[in-house]
Structure 1
């Protein structure tokens, strides 16, 4: 294979484009994508205008039609990648795994097998929450992939994004399956990135010229006073003792609520509540505010100028950012796939 050869990929369940961004950073050409949410499609297309995007429910989309419209024969696609919606598997939704949640979105994981059957890609990359590994649908998916010729039973494991250059603690299930072979998950020679490495050079929000960074906060004076008294650089509301909000004094667990990030550590997992200190340890290490949406996106390892739609407001944008795949995590594992295909698959 020549250095200029193109490896083509499709991104199922695109979201705002974290997976596609990571694939591009690993030098894949993303030729198609599927996404249902209009605001995510708007964000995706703004950042990846060259990608053919199908907007709608993937269950209503015939993969044969997509393959034909992309002018691909079975076996010509190099990588089928996707992150099926995972809210139904998450530890919060399942009370830390103690009960199952009957969420129709859980069955979307089987779309990976359906599209693999149509495209017969050289490789498959799927990422999801760790709880999927304990769900019966994972066994069904693995069996289906193996019947298609992808030895998948030993092709997945749970990793932590901070080990791959993402400045955040974030556990993910990663599956890499190739036709008639097994390749390892990416190794971890990546230097750890801290909150300071990621956002330490950003200006104070308000007049940066970046709307995602400058969005104002709306909090009561009482809450602002509480935030101002939380110690800098990793401080916790617990350190306020009786000066906590009354609702926090009665709260058993969720100790990161109204906590500050620490400069010299990775951030906690960035969630859809990342702009709200009542949802986790999302206060800036030293400024008396929650992290901005731009800071949240950078902690997810998005490029600093990546565009997110604010058409539906701050919470909708935070939801996109928190649910997105960290591009650097994708890049690490997609690079493993690229190197394998270049060396062994005759492409």
Structure 2
């Protein structure tokens, strides 16, 4: 049994961060499925795979079976959108609610249902660690139990992407299920805290002004700042935030006692550290610590993609259509970092080799 004996489908594939990690490790990803059609160009262009624009909650097992190649063995991977498990989206949610009937959690239950009905030999699911705690862990337990009921050996890990060469603090839950036994996550690839820094990730890029794209790379563009926000970033030191500002620059909300704790906005990164977690608002100066360490602007789309460990030649922009900065930032922020995708791929590869040797 070899990796080329498997056909892989990526659910909630987005622009292909997880798929690209698998491809870089020699796997063949035959298809990606996602509700966001704007991801089609980048997914297909960079991964030599077919994109299917579908709602996972209405996808049938027969439809999923049809996108696998021939009679190859099957691997199903995916990262169900994690926003439902965000702290900000849990208000008003009762701990004893029936999660399977809540629209917010429907995607993960749909993922489990497709596994139950198609029974791929190997499964991997990536999500946020908060999934373990929500509703007493019921959503996670339901997913895990569904797989175990079908004979999968399930293993799961809490990882930080920075331990696998991603220049970013990003804690994630990685789950594996296999019909052949336990899949062990590979050991950390970064030793002695020698993390990839912001400077190593983006320091080689040419400088750009806010609102002015680089002529040789349309993705290397940052949002235009207002004159007031320009003064704010100029007053912010590397690693600092709005606490560095003169009183005249501080927002009224931050002057109130209730706003003084919001220190993770209007922040600058530091060259010699890893970046903060990239979000769907990763190019907004006011949305986090997304200020460039040196230049007076927020990071560009290309810088965000590099911090997500996408290769610099990863092509996000369809020349035949227009896409807003916000849409591309959403794609990048939602993606599984390629470096973490590689770690997942290597773990699955090692498992397949162990099966072959046994």
- Common topology (TM > 0.5): yes
Task: Find the aligned partners of 1:182 and 1:98 in 2 and give their Cα distance.
Answer: 34
Contact 1:149 1:180 in 2 (8 A): no
TM-score (norm 2): 0.87
Q: Tell me, yes or no, if the aligned pair for 2:242 and 2:266 is still in contact at 8 Å.
A: yes
| 1:227 aligns with one of 229, 233, 251 | 233
CA gap of 1:68–1:273, structure 2 versus 1, over 3 A, is: closer
2:224 corresponds to 1:218: yes
Which deviates further from its counterpart, 63-72 or 8-17? 63-72
CA contact (8 A) 1:39 1:309 kept: no
Give the CA deviation at 1:163.
0.7
Native 8 Å contact 1:86 1:106 kept in 2: no
Q: Is the contact made by 2:184 and 2:351 (CA closer than 8 Å) also made in structure 1?
A: no
Q: Residues 188-337 of structure 1 correspond to what in structure 2 (within 5 A)?
A: 188-190=188-190, 191-205=194-208, 206-215=213-222, 217-231=223-237, 233-247=238-252, 248-250=254-256, 251-309=259-317, 311-337=322-348
CA–CA distance in 1 between the matches of 2:268 and 2:94? 29
Residues 1:54 and 1:259: Cα distance change in structure 2 (over 3 Å): same
Matched residues in 2 for 1:325 and 1:98: separation? 29
1:6 and 1:29 in contact (8 A); partners too: no
TM-score with structure 1 setting the length: 0.90
**Separation in 2 of the partners of 1:226 and 1:98?**
41
Does the 8 Å contact 1:238/1:244 carry over to 2? no
Alignment correspondent of 1:54: 52
Distance in 1 between residues matched to 2:251 and 2:104, nearest whole Å: 37
Q: How many residues align?
A: 338
**CA pair 321-71 structure 1, distance change in 2 beyond 3 A:** closer
Instruction: Identify if the C-alpha distance between structure 1 residues 192 and 147 changes in structure 2 by more than 3 Å, giving closer, same or farther.
Output: same
- After superposition, give the CA deviation of every residue in 1:77-119 in whole Å (9 maximum; x if it has no partner): 3421001121111233236x99899962422112332222343
**Alpha-carbon RMSD:** 2.4
Which stretches in structure 1 are left out of the alignment for 5+ residues?
none
The aligned counterpart of 2:144 is 142
1:151 alignment partner in structure 2: 153
Alpha-carbon offset, residue 195 of structure 1: 0.2
Runs of 4+ in 1 over 4 A off after TM superposition: 97-103
Deviation at 1:208, TM superposition (A): 4.4
